[in-house]
Amino acid sequence: MAFYTDRREPTVFLPGRPGGLRLPSVGVRPQPPGSLTAKGGPDHFYPDPGAIRISEKTCGQCHAGYGERLTKSLMNTEAGKLQGNLWSWGLQDNQKTVYGNYSLTDEDGLTPTVGADQYKAHMRAHIAAFPDQTVAEIRQIPEVSADEVMAHPNKAGITYSRQQCQRCHVGVNGREKRGDYRGGGCSACHVPYSNDGFYEGRDPTIDKKQPGHPLVHRLQAGSKSPVTVNGHTYSGIPTETCSSCHNRGKRVGVSYQGLMEFPYGSPFDEAGRKQPKLHTKKYVFIKDDLHHQIQSREGNPKGGLLCQDCHTSIDMHGDGNIPGTTLAQVEIECADCHGSASQYPWELPLGFGDEFAMDIGKTPRGTTRKIPLYMRKGEVTRLAEGEAYLLTARGNPFGNVIKTPDDKVMVTSASGSRFEVPVLVNIHKGKAFKTRDSQVAMWRIPAHMESMECYACHADWAPQCYGCHVTMDYSKGKMDVDCIANANSAGPDGLTADGPLGTDGLKSAGKASETRSSVSTRDPRGRATGLRWLPLAPGRTAAPGDAREDGAHGSLHGLSP
């Protein structure tokens, strides 16, 4: 997949695609692949047209504005991750959002550039009430030298962030490890890669034994963009694509699939070999999230929901602001589809279930049949007579979640399946409780629904990270990949220093190594051990430590309560 034109206006050709060339916009004429070398192609050639620095010239011809919004979103800045790390390492004495992977300024102001009118109004009030959550600018986190770390050991946290934590943002490519292969920018999500990174398409010029290539020359998006690989067809963005990044930290991607890090190689395969590593780790299957499970509720087709079936375009691409935390960018809540114990989703006020304490009033949010302009570039479910779109907690329509005339809620998956959503009011009316426990928990004890998140009970398990005991080694010659240096090295073709296969790009002083990791899980649903209640996902604490340039060790460790 590449873009080329003889007048610096990107043209797309898709090798192996039936029908050959496809014109992306009026006035841009396609060039045959053979003309690349004949007309000085390298000067006008975008090896990865989805790369974020040039995305407005390529993908943006049809999807205008997406590249700019994505640039400011958490998917690219990781501002919240940096804030948390710096505070944990004692490098910041407050929880303000100051740093990101890039220096950025929100030049168009703090009102979102996209979204329904009521969404924009809600976010203006939110930003006014919580100014640290959405900011006008961020600065690139600086690099630190070994000498600085020797003088201030907690600055090793900056090296750790730059070399490890900041790897998973769309400004750089995926790590060349099993499960981590992906493109950058738009290609990070919309170009399919297998876990092993091998090409399985029909282009004879691509080495099928070299890892690091896309799975096939197709774009994955919604049900109208099917991808066929070796006779098998799927649609939507697989959860595995999301997990190429979301496998550490909160571990939400692998947890959704039911996977937990595991120190052993079992279960063994049919030849008695240990399982191969995924994301550089071994895993054991616990239980996948109920939304992911193949067996759905009675009357629904088999197959689970994809991440994109719940998460919205703004959750992914941003709204044009610079958010400082995940909670600032994500606009959905469980009640948006399931309602509360006493009210349908459309009877709830905007802001219901949101983690931020605001006066939300009691005005019902209602539904809508209108789709904002920015959503029309994506896939939207067509409404039948009497149907309407449900709204998120902040006021935008779900383009795939629908209220029917008989007060049912239906969700259309990007996989092509259509599911009926269990609505709490309907369950209560029909006395269709799964267990008496659920009836008591949700209807007999109102405080549960008023003060607890749904997943406090409905998430069967969560990984508990008890610390990694990381060593930061600054002894002579020790270096590792600097993800932020790579991210800020993009050339005119959009590629960063880590772009060429087989290279990791730029490096900086110091190297992190995980000497011991401990992850466990417990059932969080009110189970007591003796007289002591166990935390679901305990926090971690950090104390500075280092290996100096002369090889000696300073004071140390990463700890947990």
Give the C-alpha separation, 53 to 185, whole Å: 8
For 381-403, write each residue's pLDDT tens digit. Answer: 999 999 999 999 999 999 999 99
Please compute the mean of the pLDDT values over residues 97-126 and round it to a whole number.
96
Q: What are phi and psi of 327, to 5 degrees?
A: -65, -25
Most distant CA atoms of the chain, gap in Å: 77
Would you give the distance in Å from CA 533 to the centre of its chain?
31
Give the C-alpha separation, 180 to 242, whole Å: 10
Sole residue written with tokens 């267990």: 435
Give the C-alpha separation, 449 to 453, whole Å: 7
Strands (E), 34-113: 45-46, 99-100, 104-105
Cα-Cα-Cα-Cα torsion 186, 291, 118, 353, nearest 10 degrees, comes to -130
Rounded alpha-carbon distances, angstroms, from residue 148 to 76, 153, 230, 285: 27, 8, 53, 43
State percent of the chain over pLDDT 70: 83
Residue partners of 270: CB distance under 8 A and separation at least 6: none
Contact status, residue 345 vs residue 335, Cβ threshold 8 Å: yes
What's at 272, amino acid-wise? G
The larger pLDDT score, comparing residue 6 to residue 280, is at 280
Positive or negative: CA dihedral 520, 526, 528, 531: positive
pLDDT of the residue at 39: 53
pLDDT of the residue at 355: 87
pLDDT band at 277 (very low <50, low <70, confident <90, very high): very high
Average pLDDT of the chain to the nearest whole number:
86
pLDDT of the residue at 546: 52
Contact status, residue 77 vs residue 104, Cβ threshold 8 Å: yes
DSSP assignment, residue 60? G
Contact status, residue 80 vs residue 326, Cβ threshold 8 Å: yes
Lowest-pLDDT choice from 174-188, 405-419, 491-505:
491-505
Q: Which two tokens stand for residue 157?
A: 């946290």
Contact status, residue 116 vs residue 505, Cβ threshold 8 Å: no
Asked whether the predicted pLDDT for residue 247 surpasses 70, the reply is yes
Would you give the distance in Å from CA 207 to the centre of its chain?
30
Residue partners of 434: CB distance under 8 A and separation at least 6: none
Give the C-alpha separation, 111 to 369, whole Å: 24
Would you give the distance in Å from CA 522 to the centre of its chain?
25
pLDDT of the residue at 538: 52
Give the side-chain half-sphere CA count within 13 A for 541.
Answer: 5
pLDDT of the residue at 522: 56
pLDDT of the residue at 23: 35
State percent of the chain over pLDDT 90: 71
Lowest-pLDDT choice from 82-96, 311-325, 339-353:
82-96
pLDDT of the residue at 528: 42
Give the C-alpha separation, 237 to 186, whole Å: 12
What's at 108, amino acid-wise? D
Give the C-alpha separation, 131 to 544, whole Å: 30
pLDDT of the residue at 193: 98
pLDDT of the residue at 552: 47
Q: Which contacts of 436-444 are long-range, i.e. CB under 8 A and separated by 24 or more positions?
A: 442/341, 443/341
Sole residue written with tokens 């002083």: 509
Would you give the distance in Å from CA 299 to the centre of its chain?
31
Asked whether the predicted pLDDT for residue 550 surpasses 60, the reply is no
Give the C-alpha separation, 100 to 92, whole Å: 14
pLDDT of the residue at 513: 86
pLDDT of the residue at 548: 53
Residue partners of 442: CB distance under 8 A and separation at least 6: 341, 424, 448, 449
For 509-546, write each residue's pLDDT tens digit. Answer: 999 887 765 566 655 544 444 444 455 555 444 444 55
What does pTM read for this prediction?
0.87
Please compute the mean of the pLDDT values over residues 178-205 and round it to a whole number.
97
Asked whether the predicted pLDDT for residue 293 surpasses 80, the reply is yes
Q: Which two tokens stand for residue 145?
A: 């030298």
